[in-house]
Structure 1
Amino acid sequence: MDNVRVKKREYLGWIILPTIILISLPPVAGAVVAWQTPPAGWGCRSLSFVTYAGFQIVLTPLYFITTCKMVPRTMTQRVIRWFWVLVFSLTLLLALFTSISTTLMQIIGVFRNCFCYVNTDMWLNLDNAIVNVASDTKNRRNASDGWIVMGGVATVFMAICSLFGWWFQMNIRATFEDAIRDIDESF
């Protein structure tokens, strides 16, 4: 039964670090491709990917902080506990809003308006902003190659994650069955 218990260091190394990597890798890859798509730079689309990744990375440790099985004994501990729950709830709502709203903006076509063609470094000086109105340029066609390559990489990545998840679930099931068998044998 000792092999069933997960120690704290193993938990931090084998669960939290891969979780943060798996959560942040797809949005960062999307942000890189969106950043390279003309107009190259930080625009609405690439910032939406980065914002989503940022919220997800912040939510991961906040989840573990808020679900910690600590019984608050003093008033200060209760206030701190409710503070973390409030921060987690607010971040969760913002992450949910970001994921749904940026998906809808992508589908509706908000990212194709003139303001989103202006990079963030020009947002405060819109009078001197440059907007490329050509709908078909060589740079845009070349950028589509990046979207196709990253789409293939994302598909392979999801297949590998699904295969690993299936394998991990099978191992957990086998470990659980062994633990139950050990309990049955002890009675």
Structure 2
Amino acid sequence: MCVLGLCALIDMEQIPQVLNQVSGQILPAFILLFNGLKRAYACHAEHENDSDDDDEAEDDDETEELGSDEDDIDEDGQEYLEILAKQAGEDGDDEDWEEDDAEETALEGYSTIIDDEDNPVDEYQIFKAIFQTIQNRNPVWYQALTHGLNEEQRKQLQDIATLADQRRAAHESKMIEKHGGYKFSAPVVPSSFNFGGPAPGMN
């Protein structure tokens, strides 16, 4: 959200005086935000991979337990389960805790449209597009934004632009895969062939 907000500010037709006064600090702020985003995306991807591995392990464990235990449940075990269920129903504190826990889970699981993987809004691509527009449309403002950058910062900006292209290509590839793959147009095949006529240019 911070990246998108800054993008909206620097893309204004009339740049406020306060932005002109801090123009040399804007791109370093973008770089800092994108570095944080890159780490956040990497952490999120790693967490998803770990979750997938845990789910597979749990499925394997449940399969083994069902195979070994499904003949071991007797009448005494069934009575014990009924007692536990009754106690759980009478325990109001546990019920309150479960409700609180469910609320926290719902809050932690809340996501916005920007978090949707299929959402076309990508902060990297938006930043690159706006930055290129500023370079072409408002060279004075572009110069004000970039004049104080050192070589390392310029390289980091180039890396952000490269990553924007990679993310666009990955998103396009994912959309093609989601919709059943790339659709090749069928070539027009003539209904008849004239093998006896003169070849083109051979008259």
TM (normalized to structure 1)? Answer: 0.29
Instruction: Work out which structure has the larger RCO, using CA pairs closer than 8 Å and 6 or more positions apart in sequence.
Output: 2
TM (normalized to structure 2)? Answer: 0.28
| The structure with more radius of gyration | 2
